[in-house]
Structure 1
Amino acid sequence: MNQNYSKKCAPRRLMTVTALAAFLFAPASASLFAQAGAAASANSPAADSARSAARAADPLRGTPSTITSAGNEARTQQDAFERSHRLGLRFYNGGADATCEVALGRICYWNNNGDVPPPAERADARLEREALLEVLAKAQRENPKDDWVNGMRVRYAIEGGQAEVGLEAARACGGTDWWCAALQGLALHNLNRHVDASAAFGRALAAMPEAQRCAWDDLTLWLDPAMHANYKALGCSGRGAENARVFRLGQPLWMLPGNDLQNEWYSRFTMSRVHSLGRLPYDMQWGDDLLESQLRYGWPTAWSVQNGGAADPRPPQVVGHEPTPSYDFMAVPSGIGSPTQATAKDWEPTRKKARMRYSTRYAAGYGALPHQFARFLRGGDTTILAGGYRLMRDLEMGRAPYTAALTLDGFDGRAPLQVVRDSAPANSALLVPFSSTMLASVEVLAPVGKRAARVRNTVSPLPRETRLSDYLLLQRGDPSPTPTLERNATQAYGSTEIEGGTTIGIYWEMYRQASPSAPLQVSLRATRLGASFFQRLGSSIGLSKALTPVSIKYNDNGRPDGGAGRSLTLNFPSVPSGDYQLTLMVSGAGVTDSTTQVVRVNSGNK
């Protein structure tokens, strides 16, 4: 799947776009089609002169007095390479059912996560890029202060799959301070060195002009329009905390140090700045539409051409392919506004109308992680959270090893609570103590399969007067007389989704004493949710076990050591697929406590 690509290109027909004066095409030829009037203005001599003046005034381009002969050769070679590159682009046969998802000025973007991968690049294009990199390396050695050369060498090294060369080029940069730091951040991010990339971008932001820093810190393009007014009201100096919360909530995996999503944002700005300095395969002037496209969906890593068929008089159109599969990692506005009230539904990674998409370099796919949260009381105000997970076959995680993590963040300025387990099993539970309402994230990363899965949900500690804990499903019951949470967490079933006809275990804790002379009555009952009238009737007169497949009662005389942990084995019969409410009740001395969860049963029966 990591060879599939999203794409952006000119649409097949002229469209009227609200709030845009014209919807321009991006054909493979140098000409651009625009609404009548707009084209004349855009291509007038005055406009050409203005663009030339703007390019000449760009400090990253250099001036004739500072550009060496090798620098001039590099600029000539870069322009020639992109002309040749564009003319040799291969035809793309995907996108037959694509429609324009987002219209951005002259270009059209649509999500192509499940479409045909782009054609392989021509071998001669790879050789030409290698030759260009040699010219750029020579120019950088001759003048490390040439910002244009520094940026282009990093760009083409990354584009050519030479990540270490890209970092070498960034470190050799001796030009403008903020630019060199940003190039280092880009190269380090490309290598998945998240902490180092964050530090480099921090240096870049601190060194760049204030107006530019304000622009780079403006996350409006990634935010839901419902948030725009309040966000803009914060101003440049007041949005630091909001940005930190947005980046934190959007970070794909909390188990990884640093924040690769934040690095991706600044990398997109950096690469876009490089792209603005020279020719692109689109063969059109850099503009705000290209910038917005790349900030929201990433920069293209492959290129192709496409035409509209024999009846389409226009020349072939250039298609830029961004890496896929890509996901919208932004939380919904309510989740961003109240992180410690967020639920798993506040993230929709595959939403259709996405404000942004991001394809991580360390994982080529993300899934919703089957899970179970259970809480157990400890001394004082402390609760132990058990975060269980189960790697189902349809997640396609690939072979071990796996890295699993449970992280809790209160978004209150305090350090998150976290446990990370390397070489983790395919199903287990991780334990973290906490004492206040927090957002919990259970995550699993498969480095070999390059897959990841996660779930996030708000958790609150148990009240200190709690007498009965939640229960944790196990792969098997603990037969010992002294079961403990720590021992049973390693054999957690990992989710509340089970197979009919399965034998499972259950672990819970009781924070009240029982004895042979004063036993506690324990009952465990599973009741089908959404049962029909006739199923309920049959169950009530004992003709059907489908409605209440599990019903267990016994007296608990206490543990010899007075411990709180309990465990039993449960034979869940083969019953119709569906949701069942599994309720544990403990009664004694006129007091009844209960805890319940919904268990989904999958079986061949309906």
Structure 2
Amino acid sequence: MSIPIPLTAALLACCGLVAATPAQASDPGAGGIADRARVDFAASAATTAPLQAPGAADSADAHSRARSLQTRFERRRVRDLPRTLGGGSHPCDAIIGRLCIWDDGNEDWEPREEPESIRDWRLELLTELASLARAAPGDHWIFGQRIRYSVEAGLLAEAEALARGCGLPVRWRCDAFLGYVQHHQEDFVGAESAFARALSAMPADTAGSWADPHPLLDGELRDWLEAQPDSAAAARRLWTLADPLYLADGNERWSAHLSRRVYAMSSDGAMSPHQLRWGKDMTEAVVRYGWPIAWERSWPRAGQSTIQVTGRDPPASARTLPPRDVLDGGPDSMDAVVWEVPDGHAQSVYLPTYVDTIGSLDGQTGRFWRRDGVILIGVATLPDPPAGIPHPEPNPPPAALPLAPVEAGLFVETEGVARTLGRAVAETGDVVRLSGMAPLADRGVVSLEAWAPGHRRAHRIRLGIGLRRLPPDLLAISDLVLLEPGAEPADLEPMLDVVRASTHVAADEDLTVAFEVYGLGFRAEGIGFSAWVERRNEGALSRFGRWLRVRGPREEVSIRWEESGPERPQPLFRTLRLGLPGLDPGEYQVVLEVSVAGRAPLVGRRAFTVW
């Protein structure tokens, strides 16, 4: 099972395909750096009324000066950026206007420390902008630069104070800037609240553009969205599912999207580190991929007088929107479809700031129908931290290992609402067993998650699932669930305590499987069961060889039996055991077929790995 594959997206400014920045760019006013150890934010908050209202000429002069200073800073930045070889040598995975975007696949890349000179110049810019804000207190562009560069400098408390004291005449901009700051403070609930106020107050066409997920969608998801009878409800569902971790409060993917919109708004007409004026292409790139966390400047090649500037995203940024088949289901919309990420360049990516990676969680989920809902279970072993991650406390005693607490949760999304079914706190290596009742719905998504904040690591399993009500006499089957060796629970309740916490099985183990059958007990009828193990993802040559009967049967091991149905309507709980003698390591699945005379046979499957 896999979830977002780590991606690295880089931006290369281009003019046509490649943009050239003069290696010796002019630097107006690049003289000595003034003493600027502290930026005076309070003295020029936009709400502070000057003794005499500034005239239009003063405001215009301040605005013009602010633009010149912002341009000067970005030219200075480029001059001292860390150098790298081979900038611009990559083929473009996507071209957006003047920008070339590629995935370099380097998961080990780490940003180099920003030069002190750039940090000093940024503080100097902030000081000068604060002074200019007194002459133009209602200038949203100057205000936006102050917010944007304060956040870039890590001055989040100062940026929050500035945003809360915002006195811009267009109030929704104040809420938008506050949401931007709160998102970077990882107060995602507060950010959502601020953005909700901004969206409700801004012009309808602006709100519609900001909330529109279309720029983030590949062709299949666009087709899905446009085919929905209620596009607004469908868009809300996409945003709910894009939330990378329900364990974290708030929907950080939604607030990140709106933060990207605020970043683009504040950058309108500004000079970028690419030495290009902000335009629609940069807005699209920021909305899809975010703004880079680090910048690099390539050395000019022999005979060239130009440089190229590359911006880098977090290496593990990944797709967060669901594949279409998770939304639609398989040929039978009741099927469970694992949320997997296709290979290739992503239309959009994101990584929460509170984790370095989100990996795949090895565990099991299962559905068991009841009259008023569907019982969902989730069982997994909490992953150990990667080698090399230090303990959060110096010189921890041996009893302190495993390293840190891990939060776990089982969630279900239906109709755009994510519900918590169970939560737990444990340690790495522990087994968590969670369950809860999900509401009936056509389709939903179940998410089993683990998050170790101290290790900055998270893992999850997500599946698209059918949750429709079953007619009482409809022959149906639950998910198959793998149990611990030798387990023989009598019914569903004790089964949860013996569900296997991993889908990895040793070659010499017995495979124990539990399931329920529904729609029985309304009449006397016999039931036939057939179960077998087969390889998954068998190649075309192997299938052709079996068809010619020059290779062995696909079934590795099998079992069959018959019995009478229950005397009254009720779920029929059963377990079966299959030996796995001599199976080679690889990917397999156990298949169960249930047959009743006069009814279409049922087939259930559960994948597992032999190691």
TM range (shorter): 0.7 to 0.9
CA contact (8 A) 1:417 1:432 kept: no
Whether 1:109 and 2:81 are equivalent positions in the alignment is no
Question: Which residue of structure 2 aligns with residue 499 of structure 1?
Answer: 506
Question: Which residue of structure 1 aligns with residue 457 of structure 2?
Answer: 450
- Name which of structure 1's ranges 260-269 and 389-398 shifts more when overlaid on structure 2: 389-398
CA contact (8 A) 2:445 2:464 kept: yes
Whether 1:407 and 2:401 are equivalent positions in the alignment is no
Whether 1:275 and 2:267 are equivalent positions in the alignment is yes
**Equivalent position amino acid for 1:362 in 2:** Y
In the alignment, the residues of structure 2 paired with residue 333 and residue 79 of structure 1 have an alpha-carbon distance, to the nearest angstrom, of: 43
Alpha-carbon shift at residue 252 of structure 1 (Å): 2.3
**Equivalent position amino acid for 2:233 in 1:** A
Question: Which residue of structure 1 aligns with residue 347 of structure 2?
Answer: 355
Alpha-carbon shift at residue 247 of structure 1 (Å): 2.0
Whether 1:244 and 2:251 are equivalent positions in the alignment is no
Alpha-carbon shift at residue 305 of structure 1 (Å): 0.6
Question: Which residue of structure 2 aligns with residue 81 of structure 1?
Answer: 73
- Name which of structure 1's ranges 219-228 and 288-297 shifts more when overlaid on structure 2: 219-228
Question: Which residue of structure 2 aligns with residue 440 of structure 1?
Answer: 445
Alpha-carbon shift at residue 122 of structure 1 (Å): 0.6
The verdict on how the C-alpha distance between 1:385 and 1:290 changes in structure 2, with shifts beyond 3 A counting, is: same
Question: Which residue of structure 1 aligns with residue 189 of structure 2?
Answer: 195
Question: Which residue of structure 2 aligns with residue 46 of structure 1?
Answer: none
Of 318, 327, 330, 2:318 maps to 327
CA contact (8 A) 2:483 2:513 kept: yes
* CA-atom RMSD in angstroms: 4.9
| Residues 351-392 of structure 1: CA deviation (Å, up to 9, x unaligned) | 4232212222133223344443433243x3533232444566
Alpha-carbon shift at residue 554 of structure 1 (Å): 10
Question: Which residue of structure 1 aligns with residue 215 of structure 2?
Answer: 221
User: Partner of 2:447: helix, strand, or coil?
Assistant: strand
1:151-162 matched pairs, under 5 angstroms: 151-162=144-155
Alpha-carbon shift at residue 186 of structure 1 (Å): 0.9
The verdict on how the C-alpha distance between 1:28 and 1:491 changes in structure 2, with shifts beyond 3 A counting, is: farther
In the alignment, the residues of structure 1 paired with residue 497 and residue 343 of structure 2 have an alpha-carbon distance, to the nearest angstrom, of: 35
In the alignment, the residues of structure 1 paired with residue 158 and residue 585 of structure 2 have an alpha-carbon distance, to the nearest angstrom, of: 55
In the alignment, the residues of structure 2 paired with residue 252 and residue 586 of structure 1 have an alpha-carbon distance, to the nearest angstrom, of: 37
User: Partner of 1:204: helix, strand, or coil?
Assistant: helix
**Equivalent position amino acid for 2:495 in 1:** N
| Residues 419-447 of structure 1: CA deviation (Å, up to 9, x unaligned) | 14131545545343443332222232422
In the alignment, the residues of structure 2 paired with residue 77 and residue 386 of structure 1 have an alpha-carbon distance, to the nearest angstrom, of: 58
Alpha-carbon shift at residue 286 of structure 1 (Å): 1.7
Q: Under a length normalisation based on structure 1, what TM-score does the superposition of the two structures give?
A: 0.73
**Equivalent position amino acid for 1:423 in 2:** V
Question: Which residue of structure 2 aligns with residue 45 of structure 1?
Answer: none
1:12-411 matched pairs, under 5 angstroms: 22-23=16-17, 25-29=19-23, 64-66=57-59, 78-93=70-85, 98-114=90-106, 116-136=109-129, 145-175=138-168, 176-225=170-219, 240-276=232-268, 278-307=270-299, 309-311=301-303, 313-332=304-323, 341=333, 349=341, 351-378=343-370, 380=371, 382-389=373-380, 401-411=405-415
- If asked which structure has higher relative contact order (CA below 8 Å, sep 6+), I would say 2
CA contact (8 A) 1:478 1:569 kept: no
In the alignment, the residues of structure 1 paired with residue 519 and residue 217 of structure 2 have an alpha-carbon distance, to the nearest angstrom, of: 49
Alpha-carbon shift at residue 565 of structure 1 (Å): 5.2
In the alignment, the residues of structure 2 paired with residue 557 and residue 341 of structure 1 have an alpha-carbon distance, to the nearest angstrom, of: 27
The verdict on how the C-alpha distance between 1:256 and 1:77 changes in structure 2, with shifts beyond 3 A counting, is: same
Of 463, 468, 484, 1:475 maps to 484
User: Partner of 2:167: helix, strand, or coil?
Assistant: coil
CA contact (8 A) 2:480 2:606 kept: no
Alpha-carbon shift at residue 293 of structure 1 (Å): 1.5
The verdict on how the C-alpha distance between 1:317 and 1:528 changes in structure 2, with shifts beyond 3 A counting, is: closer
CA contact (8 A) 1:92 1:304 kept: yes
**Equivalent position amino acid for 1:216 in 2:** W
**Equivalent position amino acid for 2:290 in 1:** G
User: Partner of 2:441: helix, strand, or coil?
Assistant: coil
**Equivalent position amino acid for 2:265 in 1:** R
CA contact (8 A) 2:481 2:606 kept: no
**Equivalent position amino acid for 1:184 in 2:** L
In the alignment, the residues of structure 1 paired with residue 65 and residue 102 of structure 2 have an alpha-carbon distance, to the nearest angstrom, of: 37
Query: What is the number of residues matched between the two proteins?
Result: 546
Of 576, 597, 604, 2:605 maps to 597
Q: Where does the alignment leave 5 or more consecutive residues of structure 2 unmatched?
A: 26-54, 390-402
The verdict on how the C-alpha distance between 1:599 and 1:90 changes in structure 2, with shifts beyond 3 A counting, is: closer
- Name which of structure 1's ranges 224-233 and 578-587 shifts more when overlaid on structure 2: 224-233
**Equivalent position amino acid for 1:599 in 2:** A
| Residues 375-423 of structure 1: CA deviation (Å, up to 9, x unaligned) | 3243x35332324445667999986533333333332x7x544314131
Alpha-carbon shift at residue 350 of structure 1 (Å): 5.8
Question: Which residue of structure 1 aligns with residue 421 of structure 2?
Answer: 419
**Equivalent position amino acid for 1:489 in 2:** L
Question: Which residue of structure 2 aligns with residue 57 of structure 1?
Answer: none
Q: Under a length normalisation based on structure 2, what TM-score does the superposition of the two structures give?
A: 0.73
CA contact (8 A) 1:9 1:26 kept: no
User: Partner of 2:58: helix, strand, or coil?
Assistant: coil
CA contact (8 A) 2:11 2:100 kept: yes
CA contact (8 A) 2:354 2:456 kept: no
The verdict on how the C-alpha distance between 1:396 and 1:260 changes in structure 2, with shifts beyond 3 A counting, is: farther
The verdict on how the C-alpha distance between 1:522 and 1:441 changes in structure 2, with shifts beyond 3 A counting, is: closer
**Equivalent position amino acid for 2:608 in 1:** R
The verdict on how the C-alpha distance between 1:468 and 1:83 changes in structure 2, with shifts beyond 3 A counting, is: closer
**Equivalent position amino acid for 2:315 in 1:** T
The verdict on how the C-alpha distance between 1:287 and 1:550 changes in structure 2, with shifts beyond 3 A counting, is: same
**Equivalent position amino acid for 1:459 in 2:** G
| Residues 167-202 of structure 1: CA deviation (Å, up to 9, x unaligned) | 233222221311111111111122232222122112
User: Partner of 1:601: helix, strand, or coil?
Assistant: strand
Question: Which residue of structure 2 aligns with residue 485 of structure 1?
Answer: 492
Q: Identity, % of aligned pairs?
A: 26
CA contact (8 A) 1:118 1:304 kept: no
The verdict on how the C-alpha distance between 1:392 and 1:552 changes in structure 2, with shifts beyond 3 A counting, is: farther
The verdict on how the C-alpha distance between 1:310 and 1:125 changes in structure 2, with shifts beyond 3 A counting, is: same
User: Partner of 1:328: helix, strand, or coil?
Assistant: coil
Q: Where does the alignment leave 5 or more consecutive residues of structure 1 unmatched?
A: 15-21, 32-61, 541-545
In the alignment, the residues of structure 2 paired with residue 229 and residue 469 of structure 1 have an alpha-carbon distance, to the nearest angstrom, of: 31
Question: Which residue of structure 2 aligns with residue 44 of structure 1?
Answer: none
CA contact (8 A) 2:526 2:562 kept: no
